[in-house]
Amino acid sequence: MALTLAEGAKLSNDVLLEGVVETVVQDSAVLGRLPFIEIVGNGLTYNRENVPATAAFFAVGDDWTESTPTFTQVTATLKILGGDADIDRYLVQTRSNVQDLESAVVSLKAKAVQRAFDEAFVNGSTVVDAKAFDGIGRLCTAGQTVAMATDGAPLTLAKLDETVDAVRDGKPDLLLMSRRTRRALTALGRATGSGIVEQDRDEFGRMVQYYNGIPIGVDDHIADDETQGANTDCSTVYAVQFGEGGLVGLTGPGGLTIERVGALESKDATRVRVKWYVALALFNESKLSRLVGVRP
């Protein structure tokens, strides 16, 4: 069963962990929506559907033809993400509320973990860094890539719709883009006057924009200086469908954890470790598409 990070944290009795997860989820456009499958072991080997099976009409006495879907076997390996936070014991003893100090220090470290995850979610590549996992930039195939033009072009609603339609069997759960692209989409929405870009509160009470009912997420790790043909001022928009038939996160038992290492020998401090065994798995290529070459 796949649970989001926030839902999984509700099963924990650690108050500090619950607060950390709440902070992480609120600051990320992805972690509030991405479901995670908890696995035992260091990875998951699964079959990714490539070409679905077909069916046909037959007359009486016809020979029936067999058709089966094709799959590619893929292995996603859990990667170790985390960092240490040291709490100075002098500050602990001279401050009136110890828990507030620990929570503040650990929350700052958790935000660093969240930013590292968001970066890897988009740009992660085991070719560039074997310690990281492959992000959606690597998981999205050529067949699921829509281009604005050979050398890129300003965003159009027609191309964005084509990218949305490339996600099969349901609408995307999220459109992920840079701030510059989000501004361009907002301007297009105003220009059409059709209310195609709306704004409402999400489940966390944040104001979020929607395109045709699809939440728009802003990720600062999506660059605005990508190369498309002859131009180097391009960006990418991703359309993602989450779930066990689409894109999910993989996590080790317990998910994101807070581990109290204890007192340090080298300095007057105690150490807390924010740790996460995590990766991504894409069960069907048609659940992820992208629009490349979006120019200003």
CATH number of the domain that 186 lies in?
3.30.1930.10
Q: Give yes or no: residues 20 and 88 share one domain.
A: yes
Which pTM value belongs to this model?
Answer: 0.86
**Position 59 in a domain:** no
Domain count, the chain: 2
C-alpha 86: how far from chain center: 29
**Position 58 in a domain:** no
**Position 161 in a domain:** yes
Asked if residue 100 lies in contact with residue 19, where contact means CB atoms within 8 angstroms, the answer is no
Q: Give yes or no: residues 84 and 229 share one domain.
A: no
Q: Give yes or no: residues 234 and 269 share one domain.
A: no
CATH number of the domain that 31 lies in?
3.30.2400.20
Reading the chain (296 residues) residue by residue, the pLDDT tens digits are 566 655 555 555 555 566 666 666 777 889 889 999 999 888 999 888 777 788 889 999 999 988 888 888 889 999 999 999 888 888 877 765 655 777 788 888 888 999 999 999 999 999 999 999 999 999 998 889 999 999 999 999 999 999 999 999 899 999 999 999 999 999 998 888 777 888 888 766 778 899 999 999 999 999 999 999 999 999 999 999 999 889 999 999 888 888 889 888 888 988 989 999 999 999 999 999 999 999 99
Tokens 């944290």: give the residue: 9
Q: Give yes or no: residues 196 and 252 share one domain.
A: no
Asked if residue 181 lies in contact with residue 159, where contact means CB atoms within 8 angstroms, the answer is no
**Position 150 in a domain:** yes
Tokens 């973990």: give the residue: 113
Q: Give yes or no: residues 148 and 102 share one domain.
A: no
Q: Give yes or no: residues 124 and 158 share one domain.
A: no
Q: Give yes or no: residues 14 and 126 share one domain.
A: yes
Query: Exposed, middle or buried by CB within 10 Å (0-12, 13-18, 19+), for 265?
Result: exposed
Q: Give yes or no: residues 235 and 256 share one domain.
A: no
Q: Give yes or no: residues 9 and 122 share one domain.
A: yes
Q: What is the dihedral of CA 251, 131, 18, 119, to 10 degrees?
A: -110
Q: Give yes or no: residues 290 and 278 share one domain.
A: no
Q: Give yes or no: residues 164 and 262 share one domain.
A: no
Boundaries of domain holding 108: 2-50+72-134+245-282
Give the pair of three-digit tokens for residue 38. Answer: 């908890």
Q: Give yes or no: residues 43 and 85 share one domain.
A: yes
Alpha-carbon distance values, 276 to 79, 124, 192, 213 (Å): 8, 16, 44, 32
**Position 173 in a domain:** yes
**Position 40 in a domain:** yes
**Position 65 in a domain:** no
CB atoms closer than 10 angstroms to residue 279: 26
**Position 7 in a domain:** yes
